[in-house]
Structure 1
Amino acid sequence: MAKKKPILQYVIMCDDVAVYQDSNKVAILGVFEQIYVEKFPAVHPKLWLLSRFTDGQGNFNTQTKIFNPEGQSIFESDKVNFELAETEVSYNINGQLVGLPLDEEGTYWVETYLEEELVNRIPFQARLTPKQEPEQNETTYH
């Protein structure tokens, strides 16, 4: 079998991922790119990262790393080994992160590696929760 490096089709950060056993369909809940906290430093209780590789053939490994605004690593996943038997198949990797440290406001980066090579970077923002104005007696429809 000739080896062909796959492409990373997507990386999604969300609140939850469910995979239906009977159909292998993936349900993605609460996609986000900003995390709001009351104060810094903070810890985000739980998030999921879902990645999908496709259009490749052979055995590969992938790893996810997250960096804070200063460029320091705050999370490194274990390497995940996977096989794509044919170019027409795909491989989903869904990982739950519990207790992600957010020490400061700013842009954090999720990096995805394939065979130790950086193949994707996506940003997310850590922000202070906006102060809410006192409610007025108006009805609004959206």
Structure 2
Amino acid sequence: MLKLLYAHICDTAFLSQNGNLNLIGIFERLYAKKFPVVHPRLAVITNLTGEVGKHTQEVKIIETKSKTEVSRPIKMDFEIKKENQKLRFILDIVNLTFKAEGDFQVQIILDGELAQALPFKVSTPPKPIPRGK
């Protein structure tokens, strides 16, 4: 059985030369002036551990109400080779199209079971507050 230790969505993520994980722009909301809109890049980061053996991780991005997939699911096969091994994954998704504003979620599915759903909103930006008020 796999255990998800953490998961984040952000603008970009990378490993530094010394192996530190760097997350830039963790978000729960994206803004767009008009729709449809193409978001240039979104990173999904997961850290997990589990039983020795072969496993799968699948990432889906869906519109929450309709359960419509925003992009094709991304499935990765991997192997845990030793007990207590921790694995980090950085998944970059580019040119993601949102047809309309709404509530969305990134679903992390481990060995066929939903491990976590990370919610986020896509909307028009709030109107600025007039000066002097």
Fold shared per TM-score above 0.5: yes
Aligned residues: 131
The CA RMSD over aligned residues, in Å, is 1.6
Runs of at least 5 residues in structure 1 that lack an aligned partner in the other structure: 137-142
For residues 4 and 131 of structure 2, the distance between their equivalents in structure 1, rounded to whole angstroms, comes to: 45
- Matched to 2:121, the amino acid is Q
Deviations 1:74-111 (A, max 9, x none): 12343212122223221111111111111122210111
Preserved CA contact (<8 Å) 2:106 2:119 = yes
Could you tell me which runs of 5 or more consecutive residues in structure 2 were left unpaired when the two chains were aligned: none
Secondary structure of 2:71's partner? strand
Residue among 58, 62, 75 paired with 1:63: 58
> What is the identity, as a one-letter code, of the residue corresponding to 1:123?
P
- The separation in 1 between residues aligned to 2:11 and 2:118, in whole angstroms, is 17
Q: Which has the higher contact order (CA 8 A, sep 6+)?
A: 2
The structure that has the greater radius of gyration is: 1
Structure 1 runs, 4 residues or longer, greater than 3 Å off? none
1:102 corresponds to: 98
TM-score (normalizing by structure 2): 0.88
Compute the displacement of 1:66 (Å): 0.6
Identity of aligned residues (%): 27
Q: After superposition, what is the alpha-carbon deviation per residue over 1:19-77, rounded to whole angstroms, capped at 9, x for unaligned? A: 124x3221111111100111122111111110111143211111100111421011234
- Asked whether the equivalents of residues 29 and 121 of structure 2 are also in contact (C-alpha less than 8 Å), the reply is yes
Equivalent position of 1:76 in the other structure:
72
